[in-house]
Structure 1
């Protein structure tokens, strides 16, 4: 009797990563996201149509993406952990290292449609991120309707079919749009949250935890379904009973320049990612991707930019892009006054001028 081969063929398990930071748009079906944890499953409805894309904004942010990963391994792992756990990603780092650009890289590579940017200032409120209700505009429209418009004929109060639609005066903000029920998650960019009022991070806790919110003006109305405007240009969404709940928790990218600390309760709900300045190879790749070519003299400028960066200065990649674009212009002379312009473009941003 021959001895049976009891060895089991070694099968390499599939990688847990779904995002690889290559920036390459999927050729066929979009990548399938991992199943959410049981405590991050949501059941929002009705399901909205697939969101639009914004190729122009993507090209402006990413340029022509070069081959190979655009991020470091630990940064790629942090993004994939946030995708798997359905938790916001809190990105810190110096200005100009690509924190907000990461949201566009994720949306492009995973085919998640247009990024919903929410730029934060000191006056930003949670309500503004969720929705706006134009009460004055609706009151004026109702008054004009009851007056019969231009013909002066008073419309009967019971004739609700031609009354101004309540949904015409409700517009969802970026956060409110991201929490609509989509078949695939939206990408929400909460840019520079550290500039907000001190209460905004705490105000976000309930929404980020529950993936839902109510619009009181719609809850109080007797209309079951209302079509409202969204943050997507020329797009509307249907809301039932005044409540919005996501079906897939959005990919939330929160950026901070480290101007202040966030409450522990807020940080507990986020996955931290500290982005470091790009390596020399990454800098060259960024320049080539945005300029669509590799211009002559790029090595010297990259070396000088990197020297200033590691010398303790505050530098932004935008400065390098501007300097390369200027020096490759026809007829530009890098000596004398031209050198002064380069020094001005590559100046230390921490100096205040």
Structure 2
């Protein structure tokens, strides 16, 4: 991680919400505060890019910022302070997209996604251990059925490595000691069991966790699988500690309140509905064109929102895409179909 930036009126802002990927070297980030510095190692290689996922979420690059200035400042404060963002807002407003926006603009590589449901536990996000698979592999090794048994006598076969049966989850992978922070999306935390936010406190504060199976292992280190496709990492003495705290975007639809101790460790961000100009820019970036009906549909979408309806940005993109499909006409039966696509989601149908 690079050192501090010059203290100018704009120098503390490294994120501008345009989603434009770096043309050269990625932007330098401020040094972490002394109380948010970690010492994990050895350093992991740069994570892989996933431009296809970014294109699906963000579309092509546009110069118009996709957030208002107050929201941009909150994101920059979270980057500077190395604190998670707790993002709330109406369903479909683009909360989860924020992680992709930050990652592409700052050149942080592939976004790690942790989709939370009511049965999710902290361990699900940190790592999994295939104990049954390991037991079967050990039984096969003892029976001389190791895949390479034809090459060497049974006595020379090493037992299956414990690390081969451990896979780090999205949170566990994000906390590996990367040179630059990873981007982690924790989606819909408010759907979790009541204990999960409290269970997260220690990990979010200390930037580290232990894998008990490896702590008890006699080997000093083990190579485990990670949450990146085909990825692996060396874990020493069963402990994982970050070098740079990840950029954590936690989304919530406001279905429950979080404990004060959890909220203290996060910076809150209420995602506003994009303006008309931002909506048009999103249409341009996703469709890479502006169909004839686009402005009328955007105006209609804005009016629906202003009338108190619950609508998602995905509905708008679907409606614009539909009007650009060949001979489709937004009249009579066509208008009825558009109204169905842009229906109020709060009405349950």
Q: Please give the range of the TM-score, normalised by the shorter of the 2 chains.
A: over 0.9
Which of 320, 334, 337 is 1:338 aligned to? 334
Distance (Å, rounded) in 2 between the aligned partners of 1:143 and 1:12: 64
Distance (Å, rounded) in 1 between the aligned partners of 2:279 and 2:26: 29
| 1:89-124 Cα deviation digits (max 9, x unpaired) | 000000111111110010000000100010010011
Partner of 1:206: 202
Which of 124, 127, 142 is 2:120 aligned to? 124
SS across alignment from 2:13: coil
Q: Is the 8 A contact 1:46 1:240 kept in 2?
A: no
Q: Is the 8 A contact 1:46 1:239 kept in 2?
A: no
Which of 33, 36, 43 is 1:37 aligned to? 33
Q: Is the 8 A contact 1:146 1:154 kept in 2?
A: no
Change (3 A) 1:127 1:64: same
Change (3 A) 1:92 1:12: closer
Does 2:320 correspond to 1:324? yes
Matching of residues 172-251 of structure 1 within 5 Å:
172-251=168-247
Larger deviation: 78-87 or 16-25? 16-25
Partner of 2:3: none
Partner of 1:110: 106
Does 2:284 correspond to 1:280? no
Q: Is the 8 A contact 2:66 2:274 kept in 1?
A: no
| 1:289-331 Cα deviation digits (max 9, x unpaired) | 1000111111111111111111001010100100111111101
Larger deviation: 23-32 or 246-255? 23-32
Q: CA deviation at 1:15?
A: 2.0
Q: CA deviation at 1:68?
A: 2.5
User: Which blocks of at least 5 consecutive residues in structure 1 are unaligned?
Assistant: 1-10
Distance (Å, rounded) in 1 between the aligned partners of 2:203 and 2:66: 31
| 1:227-261 Cα deviation digits (max 9, x unpaired) | 10000000101100000000000000000010111
Q: CA deviation at 1:162?
A: 2.1
Larger deviation: 173-182 or 336-345? 336-345
Structure index of larger Rg: 1
SS across alignment from 1:272: strand
Does 2:231 correspond to 1:267? no
Q: CA deviation at 1:13?
A: 5.1
SS across alignment from 1:149: coil
Q: CA deviation at 1:334?
A: 1.7
SS across alignment from 2:39: coil
Change (3 A) 1:176 1:12: closer
Partner of 2:254: 258
Matching of residues 40-55 of structure 1 within 5 Å:
40-55=36-51
Runs of 4+ in 1 over 6 A off after TM superposition: 150-154
Distance (Å, rounded) in 2 between the aligned partners of 1:65 and 1:351: 34
SS across alignment from 1:145: helix
Partner of 1:5: none
Q: Is the 8 A contact 2:64 2:278 kept in 1?
A: no
TM-score, length basis structure 2: 0.95
Q: CA deviation at 1:69?
A: 1.5
Partner of 1:81: 77
Q: Is the 8 A contact 1:40 1:86 kept in 2?
A: yes
Which of 123, 129, 133 is 2:129 aligned to? 133
User: Which blocks of at least 5 consecutive residues in structure 2 are unaligned?
Assistant: 1-6
Distance (Å, rounded) in 2 between the aligned partners of 1:337 and 1:312: 25
TM-score, length basis structure 1: 0.94
Distance (Å, rounded) in 2 between the aligned partners of 1:174 and 1:229: 11
Larger deviation: 64-73 or 112-121? 64-73
Partner of 1:17: 13
